[in-house]
Amino acid sequence: MNNHFLDLNNYGVEDLERIIKNSLELKSKNKVSDALEGKFLGLIFEKSSTRTRVSFEVAMTQLGGKASFLSVNDLQLGRGEPIEDTAIVLSSMVDGLVLRTIDHETQLKFSENSSVPVINGLSNKSHPCQLLADLLTFYEEKGSIKGKKVAWCGDFNNVCFSYAQAAELFDFELWVACPKEFLSVEDYKFKNVTYTQSVSEAVKDSELISTDVWISMGDETESKERIEAFKNYQVNEKVLDQARSDVMFLHCLPAVKGQEISTTLLDDQRSRVWRQAENRLHAQKGLLLELLN
Ligand code: CP
Ligand code: NVA
């Protein structure tokens, strides 16, 4: 198993399934343990976060360890200390690091110079920790996702990228409904992914529908054109009606109600969004035990 978790495909499906299984077991036992006693996790964030930050901090505490949040502006990194030097020094002191970075390149550079595991807590490219929680939420209620039809509606962003990797690894059928101008050549390279400009086609008979904001952190200058381009890609109750009657709706959050989802969708009976958010904590515990233990 790779020492770092920068993308889902750093691990094989057996590793990921083991992490999900262990996370669910910890959740069912509501277990507080001392498995990571004496271990220290550093969190370096270049962007805002609610769920990722708090779930890692609480996960470390519940496993007997400690975590510290290090905003880039408070580190010498923010004043120009090289990423490589920061990685060498910090990894000589802590047992693991979570990075939320503007550029994925920073994750690569950091991990190449880190002697302890580096976890990607979101980059412009991907969000593998989110997928651990999403897959866990599906497994928890519906079992294996293999062979299932999953729909993604909206921007092919970092979260969608990790869904596309998950589709290859877990062998499910991902339908991505996204305007062509927001798909790059790179986005078309995935196995098990079908691209469409029709939300109806994507969600028809699907068992899982997921979406995310149209304007991710860093895309703010394109707000106007994005709102226009994605206006027919909203997920609402009528969209869910076109899927299987037992469809599960997920959203990584934060959401912009009235844009990518209708104002009432988070509380629809088919939504598992609140459970999904809580599952970030359980998934991080499974991941930390695997990497830091
Ligand atoms: N879904 C997610 O990563 O949320 P935060 O940005 O709040 O961490
Ligand atoms: N795509 C979003 C995800 C936030 C968790 C962003 O990058 O802002």
Beta-bridge mates of residue 193: 174
Tokens of 72: 């880039």
Q: Whose alpha carbon is nearest atom 7 of ligand 2? A: 216
- Residue 32, pLDDT score: 75
- Residue 1, pLDDT score: 54
Q: Which parts of 104-227 are beta strand (E)?
A: 118-120, 149-153, 173-177, 193-196, 208-211
Question: Residues lining ligand 1, judged by CB closer than 6 Å?
Answer: 49-52, 122, 130, 252-253
C-alpha to C-alpha distance for 287 and 23, rounded to whole angstroms: 8
pLDDT mean across residues, the chain: 96
- Residue 8, pLDDT score: 97
- Residue 171, pLDDT score: 98
Q: Which of 252, 260, 273, 280 to mutate to test the pocket of ligand 2 (most atoms within 8 A of CB)?
A: 252
pTM over 0.75: yes
Q: Which of 216, 250, 259 to mutate to test the pocket of ligand 2 (most atoms within 8 A of CB)?
A: 216
- Residue 187, pLDDT score: 84
- Residue 185, pLDDT score: 87
- Residue 285, pLDDT score: 97
Among 199, 197, 198, 213, CA closest to 261: 213
- Residue 30, pLDDT score: 74
245 exposure class (CB count in 10 Å sphere: 0-12, 13-18, 19+): exposed
Ligand 2 binding pocket includes 95 (Cβ within 6 Å): no
Q: Residues 234, 255: contact at Cβ < 8 Å?
A: no
Q: For the chain, which residues score pLDDT lower than 50?
A: none
> Which residues are tagged catalytic?
100, 127, 130, 212, 252, 280
Q: Residues 149, 202: contact at Cβ < 8 Å?
A: no
**How far is ligand 1, taken at its centre, from the CA of residue 277, in Å?**
9
**CATH numbers and ranges of domains, the chain:** 8-127+280-292 (3.40.50.1370), 129-277 (3.40.50.1370)
